[in-house]
């Protein structure tokens, strides 16, 4: 049974790989994302390489092996299903469940996880819109456009928030950018570093391009799943 430290490393490595693909994950980036020193990260990554979970290239970076990827997706499945359970069943706020799930993802059994999955009607996304791997480790990591690059004056639906910080989640909730909400980008001003959009209340709001880059959207088909459940 992998330790919680090993699980945290492979999960973070997977997330960084999705962001940087197809490049290797630099050790400095790995260390910064985990809040540790590069030396500590390198020591652990070498141990992961010795156990067959990662391929480490000195002075270049690291990537997961197929075995490491399977483990990372299993941890992500536990994390995201727990988040969905905490919000939909226990009524916790979506801005506080990430930290709770960080603890629970290491102790919940596969049997309980499967019961949670069935109870929630096998959701495809967690409360933040992140895709949930299925029991076989399959995951939909299709790249969705963001408010920075979707077409102007067209209807879109928010499907994913690329930031789990409570303050950010509370902010986007206040301005009507939660998953499932309709949105239309009115204009972009690169000089002012601003994106102006109309939320589902038809209110026009401007945000920075840094904020807009964290809001993923999709065309609004009738069967889009944005709240961690199927229709």
pLDDT in tens, 136-152: 999 988 889 999 999 99
**Structure confidence at residue 141 (pLDDT):** 85
Return d(Cα 29, Cα 101) in angstroms, integer: 23
126 domain-assigned: no
230 domain-assigned: no
| Residue 160, domain extent | 156-218
- Residue that terminates a domain, selected from 64, 89, 109: 64
**Structure confidence at residue 121 (pLDDT):** 97
What DSSP letter does each residue of the chain carry, written as one string? ---HHHHHHHHHHHHHHHHHTTSPBPHHHHHHHHTS-HHHHHHHHHHHHHTTSEEEETTTEEEE-HHHHHHHHHHHHHHHHHHHHHHHTT---TTTHHHHHHHHTTT--HHHHHHHHHHTT--SB-TT-PBPP-TTS----PPPPBTTTSPTTS-EEEEEES---HHHHHHHHHTT-STT-EEEEEEEETTTTEEEEE-TT--EEEEEHHHHTTEEEE---TT---SSS--
Q: Per-residue pLDDT for 112 more than 90?
A: yes
Work out the mean pLDDT of the chain and round it to a whole number: 93
Prediction pTM value: 0.89
CATH number of residue 201's parent domain? 2.30.30.90
Segment 59-86 shows an average pLDDT of 96
Q: Per-residue pLDDT for 230 more than 60?
A: no
Q: Which residues of 97-114 are buried (b: 16+ CB within 10 A; e: fewer)?
A: bbeebbebbbebeeeebe
**Contact call for residues 197 and 183 (beta carbons, < 8 A):** yes
Q: Per-residue pLDDT for 223 more than 90?
A: no
Q: Per-residue pLDDT for 40 more than 60?
A: yes
**Structure confidence at residue 226 (pLDDT):** 44
Tens digits of per-residue pLDDT, 169-214?
999 999 999 999 999 999 999 999 999 999 988 899 999 999 999 9
108 domain-assigned: no
**Structure confidence at residue 222 (pLDDT):** 66
Segment 94-103 shows an average pLDDT of 95
Look at the chain and report how many structural domains it folds into: 2
Return d(Cα 229, Cα 122) in angstroms, integer: 7
111 domain-assigned: no
- Residue that terminates a domain, selected from 64, 92, 115: 64
78 domain-assigned: no
Q: Per-residue pLDDT for 228 more than 60?
A: no
């Amino acid at each position: 049974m992998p330790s919680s430290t090993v699980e945290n490393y492979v999960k973070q490595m997977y997330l960084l790989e999705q962001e940087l693909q197809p490049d290797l994950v630099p050790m400095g980036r790995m260390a910064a994302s985990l809040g540790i020193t590069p030396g500590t990260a390198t020591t652990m990554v070498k141990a992961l390489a010795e156990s067959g979970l990662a391929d480490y290239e000195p002075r270049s970076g690291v990537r997961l092996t197929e075995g490491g990827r399977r483990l990372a997706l299993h941890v992500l499945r536990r994390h995201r299903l727990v988040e969905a359970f905490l919000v939909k069943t226990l009524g916790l706020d979506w801005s506080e469940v990430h930290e709770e799930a960080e603890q629970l993802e290491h102790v919940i059994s596969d049997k309980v996880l499967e019961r949670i999955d069935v109870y929630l009607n096998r959701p495809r996304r967690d409360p933040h819109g992140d895709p949930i791997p299925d029991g076989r480790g399959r995951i939909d990591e299709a790249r969705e456009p963001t408010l920075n690059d979707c077409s102007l004056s067209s209807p879109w639906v928010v499907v994913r928030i690329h930031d789990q910080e409570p303050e950010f989640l509370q902010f986007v909730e206040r301005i009507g950018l939660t998953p499932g909400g309709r949105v239309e980008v009115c204009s972009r001003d690169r000089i002012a570093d601003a994106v102006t959009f109309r939320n589902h209340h038809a209110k026009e709001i401007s945000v920075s391009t840094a904020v807009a880059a964290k809001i993923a959207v999709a065309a609004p088909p009738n069967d889009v799943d944005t709240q961690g459940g199927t229709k």
